[in-house]
């Protein structure tokens, strides 16, 4: 596993001692280091600096100067859109190095990370296509006819973008693209286990001509993120990660009256109706229910199966999971890689231990694999009861649970019985029937016979799964401040 990622690192192309501030790689004032460990091998292969308060301050001041004095917010949205399109092309030119770095950081199989650059570029191009939404003349008459209002969409200012470790590229870009199109400036902090792959994105932004100070990057730990959230120069916070951390960020932003978007945890359910086509279901099962070795927020890891076909469904899911290749994430055939980091590995094992203690049936998997990597055999837990820990908590590893139900009403009730509301799927041979049941699922997004994110449709969680949305024109409007200018009606 040497590849492009290690080659770039040995050449120093990532400036591993530096943060990216005001258009240049800048030596860190902070002396602490973050070790980057390959979860497939246990090898420490890179590092990044832990930002000191002075580093965060420098990044914030650079972003503020770029917003207050620089050209970016004063460009027409269509001009910014052209820069975003160049940015997309620069990301695509770095696709191989980006994929290799991502895989070495968190163990995501290359079958997953090979598409990261194309997806990031697609997000940038989609939002570039929304420039007209910001430029259109939005005039709204008074209902009384006494006048009219011109509605403006102004940029917010400096945005703090804080990303997780499971998709370290695209969960930044889905924040970065609308923030930039709207005319904001940003400071990015990646998750501490994955501080290197995002550097390819920063280099692509610079190569595309994004002005100095518009995009800044600092690396660090939770204290770094907290300093960003509470920094007085920040006008907006966007965070993807755990519900626990999201609550703390929401509390801080509430205290500061600061806009915030939170995309948090999930415990989504896949409802299989009694007429489900198991061949079609098997073809999309891993992508919909165990994507990225189960380390995806919206996947439907709770399988709800009708009692009339319960054992048939358990057997088919077990066959699919047991037959999916696990191992070297650099092998294009690999479906299941390692768990991304030691803390998450221990958390998954603790959940599996609780399943044994509480009486779940292990249809396949359930054990750590020997060797230096953080591998856990992909696991299917059958006969799971609603009160079990694995039925209530987000596991975030290669584990699915299967619960039986007697009626569709009971299945919908189980699906809606968690404090989360992020994803969900209904599988049925009758799409109209499935659509009607999908409307009853209390979640921000629900699929019919598959699940995928649509760049043009809002994605966000309900309840403990977050606040606000990403994607779509609704995601763009999370990064603007509305102003109404009232005037007498024109004659």
User: What pLDDT shows up at residue 440?
Assistant: 98
Residue-wise pLDDT for 370-406, tens only, equals 989 999 999 999 999 999 999 999 999 999 999 999 9
Secondary structure (3-state) at 374: coil
Closest CA to 173 of 122, 227, 217: 122
Q: Which of 451, 411, 421, 76 is nearest to 273 (CA)?
A: 411
* Per-residue model confidence as pLDDT tens digits over 229-240: 999 999 999 999
Contact call for residues 156 and 184 (beta carbons, < 8 A): yes
Q: What residue spans of 198-332 are helical by DSSP H?
A: 198-208, 222-229, 243-256, 278-289, 310-323
| Nearest CA-CA partner of 289 in 401, 437, 164 | 401
* Band of residue 14 on the pLDDT scale cut at 50, 70, 90: low
User: What single-letter DSSP state applies at residue 50?
Assistant: P
Q: What residues act catalytically?
A: 263, 297
- Signed CA dihedral, 406, 411, 413, 418: sign only: positive
Strands, sheet with 158-162, edge to edge from the N-terminal-most edge strand: 24-27, 18-21, 215-217, 185-189, 158-162, 236-240, 260-263, 466-467
Task: Give the other-Cβ count within 10 Å of 120's Cβ.
Answer: 27
Segment 313-337, tens digit of pLDDT: 999 999 999 999 999 999 999 999 9
Mean pLDDT, range 165-186, rounded to an integer: 98
Q: What is the pLDDT of residue 491?
A: 65
Dump pLDDT digits (tens) for 36-88: 999 999 999 999 999 999 999 999 999 999 999 999 999 999 999 999 999 99
Q: Name the β-bridge partners of 448.
A: 426
- pTM for this model (two decimals): 0.94
pLDDT (tens digit, 9 = 90+) per residue, 246-304?
999 999 999 999 999 999 999 999 999 999 999 999 999 999 999 999 999 999 999 99
**Domains, the chain, ordered by start:** 3-264+465-483 (3.40.605.10), 269-454 (3.40.309.10)
Given a cut of 70, is residue 11 above it in pLDDT?
Answer: no
User: What is the per-residue pLDDT for 489?
Assistant: 78
Question: What integer pLDDT is reported at residue 12 of this predicted model?
Answer: 40
Rounded Cα distance, 277 and 412, in Å: 19
pLDDT at res. 10: 38
- In the predicted model, what is the mean pLDDT of the chain? 95
Are residues 442 and 465 in contact, defined by beta-carbon separation less than 8 angstroms? no
Q: Terminus-to-terminus CA distance in the chain, angstroms?
A: 71
Cα distance between residue 191 and residue 48, in whole Å: 11
CA separation, residue 140 to residues 148, 150, 479 (Å):
6, 6, 22
Q: Which residues contact 410 (CB under 8 A, 6 or more apart)?
A: none
> For residues 440 and 438, what is the distance between their CA atoms, to the nearest angstrom?
5
pLDDT of 447-475, one tens digit each? 999 999 999 999 999 999 999 999 999 99
Residue 17's pLDDT band (cuts 50, 70, 90): confident
Are the C-beta atoms of residues 213 and 23 closer than 8 Å to each other? yes
Does residue 35 surpass a pLDDT of 70? yes
Class of residue 109 by CB neighbours under 10 A (exposed 0-12, middle 13-18, buried 19+):
buried
């Amino acid at each position: 596993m040497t590849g492009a990622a290690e080659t770039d690192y040995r050449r120093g192309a990532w400036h591993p001692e530096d943060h990216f501030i005001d258009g240049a790689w800048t030596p860190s004032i902070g002396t602490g280091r973050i070790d980057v460990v390959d979860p497939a091998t246990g090898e420490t292969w890179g590092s990044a600096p832990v930002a000191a308060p002075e580093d965060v301050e420098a990044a914030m001041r650079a972003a503020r100067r770029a917003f207050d004095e620089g050209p970016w917010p004063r460009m027409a949205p269509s001009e910014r859109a052209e820069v975003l399109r160049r940015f997309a092309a620069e990301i695509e030119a770095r696709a191989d190095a980006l994929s290799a770095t991502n895989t070495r950081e968190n163990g995501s199989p290359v079958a997953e990370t090979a598409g990261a650059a194309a997806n990031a570029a697609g997000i940038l191009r989609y939002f570039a296509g929304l420039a007209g939404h910001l430029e259109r003349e939005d005039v709204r008459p008074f209902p009384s006819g006494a006048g009219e209002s011109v509605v403006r969409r102004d940029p917010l200012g400096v945005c703090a973008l804080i990303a997780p470790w499971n998709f370290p590229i695209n969960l930044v870009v889905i924040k970065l693209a609308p923030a930039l199109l709207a005319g904001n400036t940003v400071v990015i902090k990646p998750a501490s286990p994955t501080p290197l792959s995002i550097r390819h994105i920063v280099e692509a932004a610079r190569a595309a001509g994004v002005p100095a100070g518009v995009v800044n990057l600092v690396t660090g730990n939770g204290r770094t993120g907290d300093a960003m959230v509470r920094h007085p120069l920040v006008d907006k916070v966007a965070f993807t990660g755990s519900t626990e951390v999201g609550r703390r960020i929401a509390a801080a932003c509430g205290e500061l009256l600061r806009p915030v978007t939170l995309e948090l945890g999930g415990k989504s359910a896949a409802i299989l109706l009694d007429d489900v086509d198991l061949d079609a279901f098997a073809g999309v099962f891993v992508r919909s229910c165990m994507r990225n070795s189960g380390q995806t927020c919206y996947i439907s890891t709770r399988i709800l199966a009708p009692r009339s076909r319960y054992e048939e469904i358990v057997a088919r899911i077990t066959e699919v999971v047991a037959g999916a290749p696990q191992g070297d994430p650099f092998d294009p055939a690999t479906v299941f890689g390692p768990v991304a980091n030691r803390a998450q590995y221990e958390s998954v094992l603790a959940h599996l231990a609780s399943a044994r203690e509480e009486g779940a049936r292990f249809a396949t998997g359930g054990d750590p694999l020997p060797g230096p990597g953080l591998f856990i055999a992909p696991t299917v837990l059958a006969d799971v009861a609603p009160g079990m820990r694995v039925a209530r908590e987000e596991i975030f590893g290669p584990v699915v649970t299967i619960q039986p139900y007697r009626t569709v009403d009971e299945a919908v009730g189980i699906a809606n019985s968690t404090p989360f509301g992020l994803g969900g799927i209904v599988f049925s041979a009758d799409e109209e029937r499935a659509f009607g049941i999908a409307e009853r699922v209390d979640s921000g997004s629900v699929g019919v016979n598959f699940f995928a994110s649509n760049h043009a449709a809002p994605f966000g969680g309900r309840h403990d799964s977050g606040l606000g949305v990403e994607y779509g024109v609704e995601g763009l409007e999370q990064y603007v401040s509305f102003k109404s200018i009232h005037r007498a009606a024109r004659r």
